[in-house]
Structure 1
């Protein structure tokens, strides 16, 4: 299996090379040359536990890894004690209201967000990749986060030998609990910094650093190289494919679907388009999916794109109760466009150049028709999000976070518009206790500014328990307080990584 760039299909790289590098030199994203068709193996795959299934799927993509290397990566990442149970994900039926929906809980890992499913294994992938491609180098992991990726990456790469990780987050664009998770992070190789601006400013700054030849040369002099833990890195995206297969087989095992050919829908709350793209890749590998429901908050640039074929980030940016989706530049959409444009890298490059220069692009009619056929786009505002949180607690006795609530709302929009009652898997992406103020505010008064007092109240009201790793943040020391402009990010990186070598 070789990989090529979305902006230059003549680039051919092995899996270890693309995981180590993160992003192609011209700014394109790496994608596999082809996707394996696994459908004829479904009967065998349906009998596998999560770790067995992950090893099987990874073996199709990481062809320059040995079976022993893949096995070690999986066993270390998905050990049961790291995910509070035998299997790292849970599929929870919510059907009391007559809706055929199943919440795929992806947040039982160490940082209580779905990013753990990829970022617990990415450090192991990267370690193996560097041994094959640059054994003498130290790697510098750069991360832009809208909340969850940052903490998950920090925890995954904490004290990993020959790595340093720098995480940037928008100053006012994460929840108080997310900020506290990151700024109290332990580890000798970690660094966290706030950026004045929104997530798009932060993400653009990181991308520019990646492709800055001056900075690259300075790092090379220090025997260092950049890599990424964002979903622009194929090693971060690949693990997300696994849980869509696993949940589908879970529906088969529990009798919800009667055959391994029956189609389902998949609804995903998404801002950067990585999590829903993983579901699309799973379908290209044989997973029977009728429709992908792309759920957005008030930053509804993806909804408009799916409905019109025009991607236009020139709009008001909203800070919402679902901050991990407060994004107007969805990086992973580029990979989808590359696939739907039949790997026409010149068209993809043109669209991305238009986006960078004008803030807008429009895909051709052929690509737009494919998007409309595959995807349903919907969005909801904070009031509608709060209403779903309240209704699920009252009607289903289930407490969800705001991102999951957005996806449930969009699923209901789809159900009302189409009448499609096929079983629908809804990605539940974070513990509600990561967004205590907003979740509590949906079901009761949340005027108390103290995050941990509100956590106690939410436990009592919902008869649920907050994860111990979030409760324990109260007594942790804040280590990182820097806040810079996006123009200062490059120099901050150089000072942070080069000062360690001086």
Structure 2
């Protein structure tokens, strides 16, 4: 198997090279050259354990690492997730939730970023790559802490994360700026995630080596090594539905995915291409619904107002992984043209034939903050299931889609992408009802309808949320408030490259001279 750039098929590299490079030299994303090579017998696949499925899927996408893959999988998933299923399925006969947030930082990014460091180390050894690797990552909230945790103290690597100053939760920020490992660092920029992502991609495409003996790569889902591990839990969801007796083998199911950068749902597309019976992939957006509009009209227009919402990891106007879908829909030449138009004009429009091809698989829906807030409350009081703000967008969007859809309903799995305790104030506000006398008149009780709300910290809200719901918060979240802040840097977006050079000694340590 070879990996090609989405913008120029003449750029061809091995799987290991694609993992190490992260981004193609022309700014494109790497994709496998032959989808026939990744197809599997899903009936045999779902008889395997989670780790067994991971071994087979990794081997399909990274055949040059086939000898190393068993060790990679063991190192990636042994003793890192609190659930024996890794990604357990919850729900009832109507709606199911695939909980992909039981890793070290309580977000779905952990599933992939527990594997990527091991994939990178093996890939580097395979191709005789001698440089040390500096990982550059832009995050809208969760990728940063997961990347920093995954690469903590991994020899020969360092991580620098850029995140928007405003728009992420206090806990998300604390998870990054309290990381203890010496080879990781996070820095805020005075702009939004899209600016951070553009800056990182620009640096990655322009700077092959940031310094002598140090090469750059990425931990975002633009890196195929980050994306492939996410395919596994789509198979795991199907396996669990069969084992629970909710579906028979061969039944088509759909997935609803809260989506920002289009990576998580693109992993579902690859699972479908591998042979998993997926009928529909439902892309759920928040008020920044550029993807919903695109899936309806074929026009991708980032020239719109940017909204800060209660689901900050989805506050994105440029969804990088959509480029992979464009490549498989329209080819490299047109994808390159579309990306050039997006950069120069801020928009592009695909033709109707291409749009109809995409619509055969994808459906777009969205929910604003008020709808997500109601969804959290409805799910908790109706089904005793607590949603985070991103999963709530998917839940609300899916229910609206059911009202509008004309096609027959099939079993649906919503990807629950983060612990609700990562966004405690928003979730607490959604489920609290002063008419019910919550906390029984206790002094200082949380009242989201008065000025006290603005005085409460995330730490306060975690405690109140736990008491109201009688759910114990994950220790890795409740413990973050007492950790020492390592750094709290803030820069302008045009200072990112200078910041990287200034922090090389700090991040790379003895690896950098």
> Same fold judged by TM-score > 0.5?
yes
Equivalent position of 1:483 in the other structure: 490
Equivalent position of 1:301 in the other structure: 290
Alpha-carbon distance change, 40 to 495 in structure 1, aligned in 2, over 3 angstroms: closer
- Residues in 2 aligned to 1:471 and 1:244: alpha-carbon distance in whole angstroms: 29
Equivalent position of 2:425 in the other structure: 437
Equivalent position of 2:456 in the other structure: 449
Residues 206-233 of structure 1: CA distance to partner in whole angstroms, max 9, x if unpaired? 0111112xx43552xx211001000000
User: How far is 1:133 from its partner?
Assistant: 2.6
Alpha-carbon distance change, 485 to 250 in structure 1, aligned in 2, over 3 angstroms: same
Counterpart contact for 2:42–2:276, Cα < 8 Å: no
Give matches, 1:176-187, under 5 Å.
176-187=170-181
Give matches, 1:16-415, under 5 Å.
16-36=16-36, 41-67=41-67, 69-79=68-78, 81-95=79-93, 100-212=94-206, 215-219=207-211, 222-259=212-249, 261-341=250-330, 344-415=331-402
Counterpart contact for 1:93–1:103, Cα < 8 Å: yes
Greater CA drift, 286-295 or 137-146: 286-295
Alpha-carbon distance change, 133 to 379 in structure 1, aligned in 2, over 3 angstroms: same
- Residues in 2 aligned to 1:39 and 1:496: alpha-carbon distance in whole angstroms: 43
- Residues in 2 aligned to 1:479 and 1:165: alpha-carbon distance in whole angstroms: 14
Q: Secondary structure at the match of 1:143?
A: strand
User: How far is 1:498 from its partner?
Assistant: 5.1
Q: Which runs of 5+ in 1 are unaligned?
A: none
- Residues in 2 aligned to 1:429 and 1:316: alpha-carbon distance in whole angstroms: 25
Alpha-carbon distance change, 127 to 439 in structure 1, aligned in 2, over 3 angstroms: same
Q: Which runs of 5+ in 2 are unaligned?
A: 433-446
Q: Secondary structure at the match of 1:211?
A: helix
Counterpart contact for 2:41–2:275, Cα < 8 Å: no
Q: TM-score, normalised by structure 1?
A: 0.95
User: How far is 1:85 from its partner?
Assistant: 2.6
**What is the aligned-residue RMSD (CA, Å)?**
1.4
Q: TM-score, normalised by structure 2?
A: 0.93
User: How far is 1:91 from its partner?
Assistant: 0.4
Q: Secondary structure at the match of 1:256?
A: coil
Equivalent position of 2:444 in the other structure: none
- Residues in 1 aligned to 2:46 and 2:8: alpha-carbon distance in whole angstroms: 37
Residues 377-412 of structure 1: CA distance to partner in whole angstroms, max 9, x if unpaired? 111111111000001110001111000000011111
- Residues in 1 aligned to 2:26 and 2:113: alpha-carbon distance in whole angstroms: 25
User: How far is 1:186 from its partner?
Assistant: 1.1
- Residues in 2 aligned to 1:495 and 1:425: alpha-carbon distance in whole angstroms: 45
Q: Secondary structure at the match of 2:225?
A: helix
Give the alignment partner of residue 413 of structure 2, picking from 405, 415, 425: 425
- Residues in 1 aligned to 2:416 and 2:11: alpha-carbon distance in whole angstroms: 36
User: How far is 1:94 from its partner?
Assistant: 3.6
Counterpart contact for 2:209–2:216, Cα < 8 Å: no
User: Would you say how many aligned residue pairs link Structure 1 and Structure 2?
Assistant: 489
Q: Secondary structure at the match of 1:82?
A: coil
Q: Secondary structure at the match of 2:374?
A: helix
Q: Secondary structure at the match of 1:422?
A: coil
- Large movers: runs of 4+ above 6 Å: 37-40
Alpha-carbon distance change, 256 to 218 in structure 1, aligned in 2, over 3 angstroms: closer
Alpha-carbon distance change, 151 to 476 in structure 1, aligned in 2, over 3 angstroms: same
Alpha-carbon distance change, 36 to 101 in structure 1, aligned in 2, over 3 angstroms: farther
Alpha-carbon distance change, 355 to 461 in structure 1, aligned in 2, over 3 angstroms: same
- Residues in 2 aligned to 1:479 and 1:390: alpha-carbon distance in whole angstroms: 36
- Residues in 2 aligned to 1:8 and 1:37: alpha-carbon distance in whole angstroms: 21
Counterpart contact for 2:235–2:271, Cα < 8 Å: yes
Residues 219-271 of structure 1: CA distance to partner in whole angstroms, max 9, x if unpaired? 2xx21100100000000000011110111121112221112x21111100010
Counterpart contact for 1:37–1:284, Cα < 8 Å: no
Counterpart contact for 2:38–2:60, Cα < 8 Å: no
- Residues in 2 aligned to 1:202 and 1:349: alpha-carbon distance in whole angstroms: 22
User: How far is 1:132 from its partner?
Assistant: 2.0
- Residues in 2 aligned to 1:454 and 1:50: alpha-carbon distance in whole angstroms: 34
Greater CA drift, 368-377 or 456-465: 368-377
- Residues in 2 aligned to 1:34 and 1:265: alpha-carbon distance in whole angstroms: 25
- Residues in 1 aligned to 2:196 and 2:261: alpha-carbon distance in whole angstroms: 13
